[in-house]
Amino acid sequence: MTRKQETGFTLMETMVSLVVLLVVSAIVMGGMNQMMQTQGTIANRTEMHTSVRGATELMEQEIGQAGKVSLQPGAPAGGWLMTTQIIPPLPDAPFTANAVQFSGGLTTLFDNEQLLVDTGTNQETITITCPVPGTCTNTWTAGPFYNSHAANVPISTPGAFAMGVVPPVTANAAIGYPGFPNGSTATTLKLFGDINGDGNMLYVEYSCVQGTPAAPGFLYRNQMAFDASAKPGVAPSMAVLTSLGTNPNDPNGNVVPCFTYQVQTVGICPGALGALTPSAITSLQCMYVTDVAVTLTEQTQNADPQTHQIQSETKALLNVAPRNVFDAYLLARQDYKNRVQPMPLKTFNLLP
């Protein structure tokens, strides 16, 4: 009896136990491998979704803010001022004054900008111009003045930029700007204004370079001051999306561009546009981009662990309204021309 109790497993029992252990281990390892692959798929898609969502949210915010006009931040305690006293020579007759000065340090005024001067019953809108465009800083030709103004009255900027989202080029000679070849396109979105709402007016250019799974494309965002002397070249550090794919065709088989625009036309574009383009442009209707559609296809950076294929997701924002441009459009329809701001000359020079 004692000898029988001390005996171990037989060889057959040991082999059966090992087989059962191996089968169970294989099942567990297979499940773990499947779980890891599923987790890899989820991680790939989450990263892709987060990237494209972040990019589209940024674009939505900036398109919505485009066209806002502001005076630069850092005003003195009394705000930005017109420091020159104005006394029209004749009552109720428009008067244009030369050498009108504004606060020292106010460097972002531009030719044909409209300013709201003074307060109360004396408040009126004037337009500032420069005898030699691009050379004025604090001293301008300004008018028309109908009211008298003491020295050091406050100024502000009314309205919004008509072309806060730069309109696309058009071949239609009846509307738009046939001589305005550097507008927004299907792959380049151009906008300007107080984009961040902090008083600093910027020019922002989005460039959509679509790619393939083998050669991914990029979405670049190039930002500079609206009156910068030159536009910096596109650099890798400007990439908002780094694995951009090609948009799928629509149900009719047409190519879906990155950017499309809904354009309204009304009135004559204000200010400097006539000086920046052929003289015939001054008789054409002004274009307002009142909606922008954005379509982007983002790819996973790594192949899916289960299908071994690059996955993709298309994000479409069909109606992003630049609210400031839309406000300018509504004002223009009501013939409030002194609330529609022109494109600054230095911004125009950044478009090419």
Q: What is the pLDDT of residues 275-309, one digit of tens each?
A: 444 444 445 567 899 999 999 988 777 666 666 67
CA-only gyration radius of the chain, Å: 31
Are 133 and 111 in contact, with CB atoms under 8 Å apart? Answer: yes
In three-state form (DSSP H/G/I as H, E/B as E, the rest C), the secondary structure along 206-249 is: EEEECCCCCCCEEEEEEEEECCCCCCCCCCHHHEEEEEECCCCC
Mean pLDDT, rounded, of the chain: 84
Model pTM greater than 0.75? yes
What confidence score (pLDDT) does residue 271 get?
61
Q: Which of 347, 162, 352, 192 is nearest to 263 (CA)?
A: 162
Amino acid letter, residue 133 = P
Q: What is the pLDDT of residues 139-186, one digit of tens each?
A: 999 999 999 999 999 999 999 998 899 988 765 545 545 445 688 999
What confidence score (pLDDT) does residue 280 get?
43
What does the DSSP assignment read for 270-293?
-TTHHHHS-GGGGGSEEEEEEEEE
Q: DSSP label at 118?
A: S
Six token digits for residue 182: 């550097």
Q: Which of 146, 117, 116, 140 is nearest to 128 (CA)?
A: 140
Six token digits for residue 309: 């294929």
